[in-house]
Amino acid sequence: MLALRLTRGTHPLVLVRRLLVAAASAGVGFLLLCSLGYASAHPASAGSVLRLLWCFVPLAATVMFAVAVARTDPSTRPRPGLSSVGLGPVRLSVLAAVSTAVSTTLGSMVALLFFLHLRGDLTGMPFDGGAAEFLGAGTPLPLAAALMLLSLVPVLSATASAVALRSRPDPARDTFGSEELPEPAPAPSGLPWGVALVALGLAVEAYASRDAAGSAFPLPGRFESTPVAVLAGWTLAAAGLAVAGPGLTYLCGRALQAVRPGAARLLAGRVLMDEARRIGRPLGIVCAVFAAVIAASALYGGDERPWGPLTALGAVVVLGCTVATLLTSALEAKQARAHTAESLLRMGAPASVLRAATALRAAALLALFAPLTWVIAELAALPLAK
Amino acid sequence: MVAPPDNDVIWARSLHHSHNGSPGLGGVSVSVRDAEILAVTGPRGSGKTTLLHCLSGRLVPEQGEVWFNSVPVHTMAPRVREQLRRERFGWIGADPELVPELTTWENAALPLLLRGASHRAAKKAATEWLERLDIAALARKRPHALLQAERQRVSVARALCGQPTVLFADEPTATLHRAERSQLLRTLTAAARSHGITVVLATHDAEVAALADRTVPLLDGRRVATVALPGVPADTEGSAACSLSV
């Protein structure tokens, strides 16, 4: 009940973030139900397992986004007042898990209704049974399987956000009344591993595509001829980008504050160095996704293999969730630094300096990551396109 | 509008301010002379911080006037007030409010860097002040590695580094022990006297106020002659005198 009361008093923007989580959850639930429908209509097909497995990419992106939204939720942030009445970080993490579960369950319900409607099981609205054939309408839907698939997103995201929020510092520990100065995170060390993974992934892909020249691997939807090694190569390269993200962000910050910086460059660089983990990980993932999208559209841009509607839905969910996670993480970093920014403004720092610092950070990250994404996408598409 | 006397650096007349309806200041008039140390005393909640915020242009009073060197502060645009704070005023709060990402000397040099001074000049000035405050050895450390007293000294160095005309110190020693308190105050007053800096010092401590040239006592948002309240007879303090049933 407390979760609902807190939800009622929240800012509209926070509610919009929660609605986005619900929408992503609805998209994933719909994809999972579609794969179930396909499987029940084609019991002998090996492709149905692969369809289901492909759904885990948007599922992972949605869980990541739900955790990021739970982290930035102001109503479940540890507060000294609540902590002193016994509502510390642990209880608040339970609250955050409950509100995450509520919004994702809402999304799953919408997905179920929409799915049944398109199959023709629910009538009374336009497009009744518009995709009945496609969704395997002739066969009954196993109830337990549908419920299990629909509960995947709520259970996973609630658990993940509870685990992620448990370890937040307790404000009541700070009895001093003065500001808390946490120890800065050490410099991220994943850069060499990330570079190695990207190189390995590209090498595996090039090696695997040597034999299958001419038969580019099909998009998710027609998996029967997917060379596993190529997929593994892509996955390794994407994981490498995600691992290398924090290290690259740190280097970016280091470069920004080097050589006699003024106030804006100093603040921009140091903050980027401190926030390297928080910003770098989602940024690396966004880069990996964009690289995959660029490579895939370079390979399948022609008319002979058009994007299927479900593939498009999955791609939209993955892209939207990763970009939204990046933006939410940036917001979290901003919230974490609000106290410092306020004291700088009180000191008389012009707001333009703070804005310039933010713009410098964004420009530096864009200047490093945009060409990197493009190069990796080109390299990933190169062996398959010959 | 009455023009202020010429020899006052800051001159405020009948300042009224409330925080969302809760009373803060109720008609305080203060004049601060050039190069003096003025103590604003009073218990917690008597409006010391609000008065300092009004005088330093962080807060525009609801009624009343604030003049700095014969220039009205209460009618200034926010940008100009910001510039005034940056270039002419220094601030030391009860909390050091250091930027956690910057090292000690960068924190101290921040006012100069914000004014657009060159990196080299800012570093030189900041290092000099850190040496005077005996924390030059910590110049490359970050605030999380410092003790509270050392952080507070860095914030003093930051305020003095910008060579302000007026330095506002709002309970600068509230979170310190006695030994550190007296050392910090001695350094602060010595620096102010030798550089001719005007200091407005808010404190609830009579010992601290004794260092000042003049004292302005505040009570419940008004200027009073003395803060000492008439003593309460001991026998009425017991439970018998309390007629509230709770």
Nearest-angstrom CA–CA distance, B129 and B16: 37
Whether the pLDDT of residue A176 is over 60: the answer is no
Determine, yes or no, domain membership for B178: yes
Distance CA B1, CA A366 (A): 54
One domain, residues A25 and A97: yes
pLDDT band at A207 (very low <50, low <70, confident <90, very high): confident
User: pLDDT at residue A329 above 60?
Assistant: yes
Question: For residue range A73-106, what is the model confidence (pLDDT) as tens digits?
Answer: 888 887 777 778 888 788 888 889 999 999 999 9
Nearest by CB to B99, from A273, A344, A348: name it: A344
Phi and psi for B167 in degrees, rounded to 5?
Answer: -115, 125
Judge if A107 and A240 occupy the same domain.
no
Please choose, from the candidates A130, A21, A38, A60, the residue with its C-alpha nearest in 3D space to the C-alpha of residue A314. A60
Whether residue A165 is found in the same domain as residue A197: no
**A143 within a domain of the structure (yes/no):** yes
Strand order in the sheet with B8-19: B22-33, B8-19, B63-68, B71-72
Average pLDDT, chain A: 84
Query: How far A130 CA sits from the closest chain B CA (Å)?
Result: 57
* Chain B residue with minimum CA distance to A266: B102
- The model's confidence at residue A244, banded by pLDDT at 50, 70 and 90, is very high
Task: Look at A12-26, A126-140, A182-196 and tell me which has the smallest mean pLDDT.
Answer: A126-140
Question: Please, which pLDDT band fits residue A123 given cuts at 50, 70 and 90?
Answer: low
Instruction: Tell me which residue of A174, A288, A193 sits closest to A235, measured CA to CA.
Output: A288
What's the mean pLDDT in A2-11?
79
Give the side-chain half-sphere CA count within 13 A for A115: 26
CA distance B195 to chain A (A): 21
Closest by alpha carbon to B108, among B145, B184, B161?
B161
Share of chain A above pLDDT 70, in %: 85
Checking if the pLDDT of A154 tops 90, the result is yes
Compute the half-sphere exposure of residue A70: CA atoms within 13 Å on the CB side of its CA.
34
Judgement on whether residues A93 and A235 belong to the same structural domain of the protein? no
Residue A202 placed within a domain: yes
Given the cut 0.90, state whether the ipTM is greater than it: no
pLDDT confidence tier of residue A231, bands split at 50, 70 and 90: confident
Chain A residues whose C-beta sits inside 8 Å of any chain B C-beta: 176-179, 181-184, 260-263, 266-267, 270-271, 273-274, 340, 343-344, 346-350, 353
Q: How many Cα atoms are found within 13 Å in the side-chain-facing hemisphere of A67?
A: 21
> Residue A107's pLDDT is what?
95
Domain count for chain A, please give it.
2
With beta carbons under 8 A apart, name residues in chain A contacting B87: 348
Is residue B245 one of the residues assigned to a domain?
no
Helix (H) or strand (E) holding A375: helix A351-385
Could you tell me the CA-to-CA distances from A53 to A35, A246, A301, A314 in Å, in that order?
9, 28, 24, 12
Contacts of A293 (CB under 8 A, 6+ apart): A315, A319, A377
Q: What angle do CA A279, A281, A282 make, to 5 degrees?
A: 75
Query: Which of A170, A204, A219 is at the close of a domain?
Result: A170
Nearest-angstrom CA–CA distance, B194 and B201: 17
Identify whether B236 is part of a domain.
no
One domain for residues A246 and A302: yes
CA neighbours within 13 Å on the CB side: how many for B152? Answer: 24
Tokens of B63: 């009624």
Q: Which of A134-143, A173-182, A282-291 has the highest mean pLDDT?
A: A282-291
Question: Does A82 fall in a domain?
Answer: yes
Position A122 pLDDT exceeds 90? no
Does residue A309 share a domain with residue A272?
yes
Considering A63-72, A165-174, B87-96, the range whose residues carry the highest mean pLDDT is: A63-72
Give the residue numbers spanning the domain of B196. 8-227
Q: In this predicted structure, what is the pLDDT of residue B96?
A: 87
A220 & A368 share domain = yes
For A56, the token pair is 């885990």
Per-residue pLDDT tens digits for A371-386: 999 999 888 888 766 5
Residues A269 and A328 in one domain: yes
For A353, nearest residue in chain B (alpha carbons): B114
* Inside any domain, residue A177: no
Read off the pLDDT of each residue in A203-225 and give the average, rounded to a whole number.
60
Residue B34: give its domain's CATH number. Answer: 3.40.50.300
The answer to the question of residue A109 being in a domain is: yes
In a domain, residue B232? The reply is: no
Q: Which of A1-10, A101-110, B200-209 has the lowest mean pLDDT?
A: A1-10
Domain of A58, in residue numbers: 2-170
Q: How far is B128 from chain A (nearest CA, A)?
A: 19
What residue type is B31 in one-letter code? S
- From chain B, pick out residues whose CB is under 8 angstroms from the CB of A182: 100, 144
Residue A186, in any domain of the structure:
no
Q: Are residues A319 and A253 in the same domain?
A: yes
* pLDDT tens digit sequence for B56-102: 988 899 999 999 988 899 899 988 998 899 889 999 988 888 998 89
Number of domains in chain B: 1
**Does the pLDDT of residue A118 top 50, yes or no?**
yes
DSSP for A13-64, written as a single string: HHHHHHHHHHHHHHHHHHHHHHHHHHHHH-TT-THHHHHHHHTHHHHHHHHH
